[in-house]
Chains A and B, each alone.
Chain A
Amino acid sequence: MQHTALDKNSPLPLKGSRLSTKQIQKRRRFKKNIPWLIMFVPVVAYYIIFKYIPMGGNIIAFKNYNFTDGIWGSPWVGVDNFKLLFTDPLAFATIRNTFVIAFLSIVVNFPFPVLLALMFNEVRKQWFKKTAQTLLYLPHFLSWVIVGGLVITLFAQESGTVNHLLQQWTGETFPFLYKPASWLALFLASGVWKEAGFAAIIYLAALGNIDPSLYESAALDGAGKMRKIWHVTLPGIRPVVVLMLILGMGRVMDVGFDQVYNLQNPIVSNVSEVISTYIYRMGLQGGQFSLTAAMGLFEAVIALALILATNAVARRFGQGLW
């Protein structure tokens, strides 16, 4: 601090005129910036090439793309591709499935981390807490290939362990993976299994910030365990809960490719096909680049709108992200 203060006030270098001090500061700033700018050049190149050029590449959603003419040469078709998205039954079902699955995921996934955090918070034995946390965080690190592999092998009709047990108890097996309702249940449950434990960390952090004296005064007032949770713990984590709920709503369009792709099968495709898997199958495998680019752009725009909207709501709660 002393150092800069000295520079500003020193009359020596250019006889103290205001302009020249500014010039010196400018030059000094430029000199400081040289190494940073050199460092930053690859980053700018990276973002232009790998993020902003593909963003521009979305213009093929308004064209009829073919390989020989390329992105620039292919003929314009206006919004025909978007019209097709809402008239083609398969495309429309895909959009509907995406909304349904994403919405259900948010609703089902939401309460478990909060519950787990509250439960962890009441555990006094440290070894038990550590062990339980270690086990519950573990699935977060497994990829959807592993989780999908587990679900498919465990619930397979002829060879799966679950159906073996079911047969011993009831004498019958059940095609869990091939009925839309049970497939959806497995899909949602696998999401909870994988992420609920790890997502509890955020709430645990919030719980750690609650003033302990609040519990003491609640105890003095004769509050039991449940009343303490209801009147002290829950209000204490409410801001985080609201924030996470809002953030979750902002991700309504975001059904991960890995999760769906690793769990779905052709028999339940009428409920399991979502935008990301549709783009993979119809676009990358089927060559319908313009149609699927339109689908992708539609998804990205809705997602952007949702994030902006939820952030506006979050601001009302004083929790805005920007």
Chain B
Amino acid sequence: MNWRVAQRRVICSGDWSVERLAAVERQIRRNAPMTSGEWRINLGEISTLDTAGAVMVQRLCRRLRTAGASVQLEDVSAERHAVLKLVASEMEVTPRRPYSNPLERLGRRVTDGCFGITEYLAFIGRLTADSLPRMLRPHRLRWHEIAVELERAGVMAIPIIGLLAFLIGIVMAYQSGDILQTYGANIFLVDLLGVIILREMGPLMTAVIVAGRTGASYTAQIGTMHLTEEVDALRTMGVTPFEMLVLPKFLALLIALPLLTVWADAIGLLGGMLVSSLLYGVDFDVFLRRLPTAVPPNMFWVGIAKAPVFAALIASIGCYQGFRIRYSADEVGRYTTISVVQGIFWVIVADAVFSIVLFSWLGL
């Protein structure tokens, strides 16, 4: 661009198409003089002018006009004239979204938090109302869906849960074995590993992995089905999404999680046993012979009893968050994250409640 300030002329030249406009814009911003008078803008030397370029011409004109100048365009061909007219015809201001102040946002978050609980309870209520009639007539349950979910949530989780349980068994045996060895109390590894793995680590860790794996997939699946209107399609066919989507997942997880816990218990103990025999001289047969006397069976049953509760929490939170997804792909990510975080959070809270109730009140 050639600025001839003395003659009040601008000669625009070159490529004014959208890819090259940034340089033009910079020139206008830097060089446009703030002088009034009668300016003439020559467009004859512009090689290409697209609509974005035309917008830039308008911006140049506006800038000169705000400085009090009057502006005349010259050397404008007929087709460019049409494009420029199109751009100039309206200069409306887009209305803004209503601004929300921080206080309002805080209030909204609080009420959302409070009503979130009631919404969740309403969800549980509807799920129960839809499920009970089916549960009373088991032949009407969707066994096929349950089997599919059982495979996804249960069978396919076996390798990862086995591997992690094995590693945790190894780590715990290794860490506690060192301390016990200093007292010559290696044999108590059996008691320690038995209690910790069967009662706490087995169920808790399995639930955490399942919350991350399965809870997230429940949320994402139901949410995506919402976005593609599949849920609405089910509704129009008189099938409630609860009994079609939620109930099979719920039941499947109720079955799968205790079984996975048993698996995690066994593999965790195996890992612990391996370290005990290799490093601390507690052989397999010694370990296995001591285990039933060292760890009363109710330790095992307490661990297994927690699993269905964890499963109910994970499945209901996962599905509930899925139903909150309404409009956008964004929400799928957001609510899936919430689902996993809340799932793990409530599993740990439930575990703490179990410890307090069972241990201090019932003396188990």
> Do the two chains belong together in a single complex?
no
